[in-house]
Every structure is written in structure tokens, then in C-alpha cells.
Amino acid sequence: MQVIRSTRAIQRLALKWRRAGHKIGFVPTMGYLHGGHMSLIRRARRAVGPRGKVVVSIYVNPTQFGPNEDLSRYPRDLIGDLRCCRAEGVDAVFAPSDADMYPGAREGLFSTYVVEERLSARLEGASRPGHFRGVTTVVAKLFNLVQPDVAVFGAKDFQQAAVVRRMCADLNFPVRVIVAPTVREPDGLAMSSRNKYLSGRLRIQATVLWRAILKARAAVRRGRGALQAARLRAELKRFIESEPAARVDYIEFVDPLTLKRVLRVSRGTQLLLAVFIGRTRLIDNARL
């Protein structure tokens, strides 16, 4: 497995692989890899086959964090991550520095960003201004560097996957975006690097996101026909905030394709949740 730190070297390698006829499968990550990432890596391998090359990027992208978010304490473990990637048969890990990814940023020279303007506006975009501008910018840069045929994203970041798909369609990136299912802990908590912040009673209370999803699913099944979104939202908020450390950021019911809010909830509606457990903000989602 090659470990590559420079933008120039990864682009050179990717172009060489492409010229030799290898397909490239790409898994962009911010590191601190867990079972969810492993499933994305396996999905990428399946997509490109044994002759293909799988690249994982490990980069905590500063432009997608707001000023009061957890950039400085975001968990990192490059050595552990490299061990996981090697065990999964990854061909190359790309782990660049900020200076290489954002040349001239310190001097105020870096000034080109990619902005998706419609799907990004609400939900995570409203709660975390600038977040998606950072995501689309870094993903566009990574696509230019890694030259993937296929890129695999996790369904836990439902809106991110929709925004990246839109960006690829709008800007003609020749990349097939695959969205792989969320991987959960045995008690239902969606795997996330941020789960590291949770211990003891906070970790137990964090399962309330999954329990809220199950509750919403049961309500839709029982309700036959459509339920009022406002009423179900209020019920879920009460349920979630009955955990002492939980505070709802948003509970939204949307059309899974347009991400537009729906007023009536029925089978096929997408439920999106963002909840603070103590200081840790968790997101989850499910098709009802």
C-alpha cells in the first residue's frame, strides 16, 4: 500500500493508473476509521474489481468546519487508519497537509470554491453555514487529484451524498457516486468518528436517535396513509429530549430526491435528525 502525502504525487499516480487501464475506486474520509468506513472501502473494491485500484483519502478538511465547531479536537489516528486500510487491501492512502490542499491559504491567496446552491441551503446547510461549500470544494479537489471512476459515500450523511451527486451532474465530473448503507453498532447507534466523544451515560443516551427512527417507522406503519409531519415532529422531539443530555437541532421529513420538506409523512418519506448529546452533535436519517 502506498502512502502519499503530496497532491502532485497522487495525481501523477492516478493518471498513470488510468493510462494503464485500471479503474479507480475512491473513498474520501476524514480519518479515525471505523466499521462504516471499512464497508465503504469494500464497496469501492467491489465496484472496481480485483484489477482496479482503491484509494482512501484521510484529510480533516478545515473549510467544512465552522468557527465554533470541533476542528481542533476532531479525532485523529493516522497510524491506526493506515493499519485498517492495509488490512482491507487498499492500494493507496492519500493524506495531504493543509498547506498542500489549500495552497496560499495562509497568505489569503486561495480563493476558488465550489458551491451547490439549492440542496445545500437547508438542514445541515442552515445549521452549519459554509459547511457544504467546504465539502463540495474539497470533494471537487479530491476528484481532480484522485481521478476516480467511482466514489463511495456513506448514507449516514444523506444530504452530503445528494449534494455531491448534484455537483457531479452539474459540473460534469465523470464519477459514479455510490451511496453505501449506514453501518450501526449493535444498539443501533450509527457508526461515526464523533462517537469517540461519547462515553458512559452520553453513549447510552445517544441511542435515542435510532430509537426515534424506530418510533417514526412504527407510527408510519400504524398510521396507514399519511401522518401530519408537525405532529410527528413534536412527538419525536419530546421523545428525544426526554433524555437529559439530548437537545434537538432539527427533525425534518423530506422528499428523498428533492430534499424538500413534506407536510404529510408516509412510507418513503426521509426522516433526517440532528441532535446534540451533550456537546456532541450527531446526525442520522432513515427512509420511513
Residues that bind ligand PAF (CB under 6 A): 28-30, 61, 64, 135, 138-139, 157, 160
CB of 193 to ligand PAF, least distance (A): 8
Is 37 catalytic? The answer is yes
Q: Which is nearer to ligand PAF, 177 or 271 (CB)?
A: 177
User: Which entry of 22, 34, 37, 131 is annotated as an active-site residue?
Assistant: 37
What residue type is 63 in one-letter code? T
CB of 203 to ligand PAF, least distance (A): 21
Helices (H), the chain: 7-19, 35-48, 78-87, 98-101, 124-127, 131-146, 158-171, 200-205, 208-223, 229-240
CB of 268 to ligand PAF, least distance (A): 25
CB of 66 to ligand PAF, least distance (A): 14
CA distance 190 to 160: 16
CB of 77 to ligand PAF, least distance (A): 15
Q: Which is nearer to ligand PAF, 17 or 132 (CB)?
A: 132
- State how beta strands 92-94 and 53-58 pair: parallel
| Closest alpha carbon to 220 in 278, 271, 150 | 271
CA distance 45 to 51: 9
Q: Which is nearer to ligand PAF, 139 or 206 (CB)?
A: 139
The gap between the terminal CA atoms of the chain, to the nearest Å, is: 41
- State how beta strands 264-265 and 227-228 pair: antiparallel
Q: Which is nearer to ligand PAF, 28 or 52 (CB)?
A: 28
Integer-rounded Cα radius of gyration of the chain = 19
Q: Which is nearer to ligand PAF, 177 or 236 (CB)?
A: 177
Q: Which residues are catalytic?
A: 37
